[in-house]
Structures are given as structure tokens and as C-alpha cells.
């Protein structure tokens, strides 16, 4: 399950061993297309990788802090540090490869 987070919950991301954060917005069509892909992947990686969603409209300071200028933007965090980033909709196979290469 993808957990929706706000700024005050971002410490959860930093505490996770490996976390995937989807920076998106409700009005963004590619973001809406990616959401079910992220849900499926969160089930497949359950127990190994934590999945989060962060709305850039509600958390502009976080988006700015991590250099989000286009959405959807996916950042992988390891031990609390951003280690990889990809932008735009990607099919499940591509997203899985991105996660596997960076987890």
C-alpha cells in the first residue's frame, strides 16, 4: 500500500531502509496513470521497500527541497538519503527496473 504523506510525516521516509516517494498532484494525468502502477509495486515489494505519495501542491516546500520541477517525479531514498530520481510516467516494467537498479 502506498502511504500518503505530508511534510510532518516525512521522517517516516528517512527512517525506512529503502523508500520510493512519488511526488505528484491530483490534477496531473500522468500522475493518475502512475498511481495504480505504484500500488501494484508496493504490494510486490511489501516488506522490502516502503512506498509513499507526496502531493506537491500540499507540500511545496518538500518539492522545492528535492528539486521537483516536473511531475510525476519518483525519488528513491536509502537510509534517509535521496539516491535516484526519475520523472514522468513509466510503465510497470520500467518502474520495476528503476527500483531494482536503485534499491
Contact 12, 3 (CB under 8 A): yes
Q: Which of 2, 19, 20, 31 is catalytic?
A: 31
The verdict on whether 54 is a catalytic residue reads no
Q: For residue 60, what is the enclosing H or E element? A: helix 60-65
Report in angstroms the alpha-carbon separations of 61 from 6, 55, 67, 103: 10, 11, 10, 25
31 classed as catalytic: yes
Provide the residue count of the chain. 103
- Active-site annotation, residues: 28, 31
Amino acid at each position: 500500500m502506498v502511504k500518503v504523506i505530508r511534510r510532518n510525516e516525512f521522517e517516516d521516509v528517512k527512517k525506512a531502509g529503502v523508500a520510493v516517494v512519488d511526488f505528484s498532484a491530483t490534477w496531473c494525468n500522468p500522475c493518475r496513470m502512475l498511481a495504480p502502477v505504484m500500488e501494484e509495486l508496493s504490494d510486490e515489494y511489501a516488506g522490502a521497500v516502503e512506498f509513499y505519495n507526496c502531493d506537491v501542491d500540499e507540500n511545496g516546500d518538500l518539492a522545492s527541497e528535492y528539486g521537483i520541477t516536473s511531475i510525476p517525479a519518483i525519488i528513491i531514498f536509502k537510509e534517509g538519503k535521496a539516491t535516484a530520481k526519475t520523472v514522468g510516467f513509466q510503465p510497470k516494467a520500467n518502474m520495476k527496473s528503476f527500483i531494482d537498479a536503485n534499491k
